[in-house]
Structure 1
C-alpha cells in the first residue's frame, strides 16, 4: 500500500511524490521519491515502516549544527545509505534572517544561486543510486520543497500541482513548531505560502526550466533521463 502522507509516529511531513499527472500522459509513481522533515526522532516502528516502504537512500539536506541538534536516525541502519548534502547552512543565522524577512522566495533563489554544486551532486546521486529515495531537511518545507519542485518540474508536472505540493507543509508542520530546531525560527519562515515557491518556479522558468537549470549545475543528460524514468516509469 502506498500513501500520499506516510503515517509515521515521529515525523509529521513525510510525503510521497507519487500521483501527479506528468508529461505525455504519464504520472509520477509512488514509492520512488519521498520528501520529509527531520528524521531525528524516528521510532523503531517508523524505521521498519520506511524500510518496508522501500527506502534505501536518505539525503540529508541540513547543515552541521542542525544535524548535531537532531541527529539522523538512519545513520548506521544496515541497508540504508545516508548522504549528507547541505543545501543551506543555518549557522549563517544573520544572513538567513535577512533573506527570509520578506518571505521565503528570496531564500529559495539564493539557495539556487549559492549551492549549484551541491544541487548538482544531489541530483546526480539520486539518479545513480538504487532503491527508494527519501530527501529531507528540518521542517520538510524549504530545502526539501526546492528539491521536490525541481524533480516534479523535470517530468512536466503542472505549475499549480507543484505549488499545491509545496503548500501542504503549512498544515502539517504547524503542529510541530516547538521542536528544538524550529523553536527560534521566525513565524513567516514556518509558512508555505504559495507565493514563496512561485517566486522560485518563476526563477527556474527564466533559466529554461528544471532540466536546463539542473544541467547548469552539472547534472548530465543521462542522469536527468534516469531521474525522469525513476519518477514516472
Structure 2
C-alpha cells in the first residue's frame, strides 16, 4: 500500500489528560505518574516543553508501524525521554475493514478484548515502564481513545480502581471526538484512503450514536466472564505481583 506525502500542521493535542485524581479504593491516584493523549508525534514544540517541565521521562507509542512511518516521533524525538514502541494492533486499517459495514460500540468492545488477549506482552511491558520510569510516562495512539483507553484500563485495574472509575475516565474522550477527528484527519485520512476507505463514512454514524461507555464495560465484563480475573491475560504474559506493588506504591498516597 502506498501512502501519499501527508502535510501535517503541528498542533496541541486535544485529548490529553493526566490520570491523576481518579478514585482508587478510597484514595486518589496522584498526578505526574501517567498521562494519556492523542497523537503526540505532531504536537508543537511548546507542548513538548510543557510536558518535559511536568516531568515526562518516558513515552509509550501504541500506534502501528504504518502509522509511525507517516509521522515518526515528532518534536519529542530530539528530547531526553525514553521511547517505547509497543503497537497493540499490527495494522489499524484491518480493524476498519474487518469491522465493516459499521464499526459500532459493541464492535469496539470486542476489539478491545482482542487487544488485551492478543497484545498482553506489550501491555505488560507498558505497565513495567510506568512502574519504573523515573518521572511521568506519557502513552498515546492516534486518537487517544481505543488503544490508549485499553492501556489506561489495564493500569487502573492493576491499581485497584473499580469499573465505574475506569469507564468514567474512558468516557471523557467522548466530548473530544469531533476535535480528535479533525486533528487526525490528514494522517488517518491518507492511510484509510490508500485502502479505499471513506474516513467520513466510518468515523460517523455508529460511533457517534449512543454511549461510548458500552465499549469499555464490554471489555471489563468479557474479561471477567472468560478469565475470572480481568488481568489474567496479563498475568499469564508476565505481569508480576512486584510490578503491581510498585505501581501502587508510586500511584497511591499512603
Flag the structure with higher helix content.
Answer: 2
Bigger shift: residues 64-73 or 183-192: 183-192
Q: 1:154 to 1:168 in 2, by over 3 A?
A: same
1:143 matches 2:159? no
Give the conservation status (yes or no) of the 8 Å contact 1:57–1:80.
yes
Residue of structure 2 in register with 1:172 after alignment: 176
Write the distance in 1 (CA, Å) between the matches of 2:148 and 2:230: 15
Residue of structure 1 in register with 2:7 after alignment: none
Q: 1:144 to 1:166 in 2, by over 3 A?
A: same
Write the distance in 2 (CA, Å) between the matches of 1:43 and 1:161: 31
Write the distance in 2 (CA, Å) between the matches of 1:73 and 1:199: 34
1:222 matches 2:216? no
Q: 1:115 to 1:211 in 2, by over 3 A?
A: closer
1:187 matches 2:187? no
Write the distance in 1 (CA, Å) between the matches of 2:68 and 2:168: 28
Count residues in correspondence: 224
Give the conservation status (yes or no) of the 8 Å contact 1:119–1:217.
no
SS of residue matched to 2:83: strand
Residue of structure 2 in register with 1:163 after alignment: 167
TM-score w.r.t. the length of structure 1 is: 0.86
1:63-212, aligned counterparts within 5 Å? 63-90=64-91, 93-99=93-99, 101-102=103-104, 103-178=107-182, 179-183=185-189, 184=192, 185=199, 186-187=202-203, 193-206=212-225, 207-212=227-232
Bigger shift: residues 200-209 or 29-38: 200-209
Larger RCO (alpha carbons 8 Å, 6+ apart): 2
RMSD: 2.3
Structure 2: give runs of 5+ residues left out of the alignment. 1-9, 193-198
Q: 1:227 to 1:147 in 2, by over 3 A?
A: same
TM-score w.r.t. the length of structure 2 is: 0.80
Residue of structure 2 in register with 1:16 after alignment: 18
Give the conservation status (yes or no) of the 8 Å contact 1:19–1:30.
yes
